[in-house]
Amino acid sequence: MKKLVSISFISMFSVITGASAIDWWERPTICRLDPTDCYSNMGIGFDEEMWDANSQCWGMKLICPEALTHEEYQPIPMGKTEIAKGTEIKKDFDTNKLNGDCFGARKSTSNGTMVSVDGEYVKVWCNGVLDNPDEFLENGEITYGTQPTCSDLAEYGYVAIENNGCYGKYYDQSEYFIECDGNNLLPSRIILLNGADYNMPSGNFPADESAADKIFDQMETISETQRQKYFKKD
């Protein structure tokens, strides 16, 4: 009996050794992984060939590096359980939104004209409005720090109103004067100059109402003199 068991063991070992050259997934008796997909549709933003061990399915989302709490330089495949926990994902990012070839775009509101920065929503400024933007988005740029004021924007001819999916409408400073009032973001008035130069020094302009009245009196006197001179009664 012992001899028979020994022979059977040797035979089994020989079979296993001989089968080692065959890939495990090609062996007819191997228990294969469930081929069920993790997502109903996979394409851009997914790694379709990776196995999600926790969810027991094929396919992982590629999470954009800027959406992760740790530093990465390329999209990282993550399983459903990891994404659901959210411990490695920044609170300002939505992993349901495709951002190029990976998932993880900034959370947005107001049709994308405002996005989340440190848990608060800030305006997306049109390209060229900010002096030193911290981040460029598909529809504009944002700053992480202090947001621009009315005066900051007016200096370059901009007003904080929506302009094709971002904030910052331009007014030609040779045609318009943007008047800011206190800490309000929007200007109190936008003055159409009609060719006037609001930067021109006052020169001999009247300093007050009394001075203006004096000038008008002189103009009236001159006008009356000229009228009597050139328009005599018959």
Residue-wise pLDDT for 148-164, tens only, equals: 999 999 999 999 999 99
Q: Has residue 234 got a pLDDT over 80?
A: no
pTM of the model: 0.64
> What per-residue confidence (pLDDT) applies to 79?
94
Least confident of 17-26, 97-106, 207-216: 17-26
Looking at beta carbons, which pairs linking 78-86 to residues 24 or more positions away fall under 8 Å? Answer: 79/38, 79/52, 79/53, 79/54, 79/55, 80/38, 80/52, 80/54, 80/55, 81/52, 81/54, 81/55, 82/54
Residue-wise pLDDT for 8-42, tens only, equals: 444 444 444 444 577 766 666 666 666 788 998 89
Angle in degrees, CA 6, 12, 14, rounded to 5: 105
Q: Radius of gyration (Cα) for the chain, nearest Å?
A: 37
Which residue in 131, 132, 111, 82 sits closest to 123, CA to CA?
111
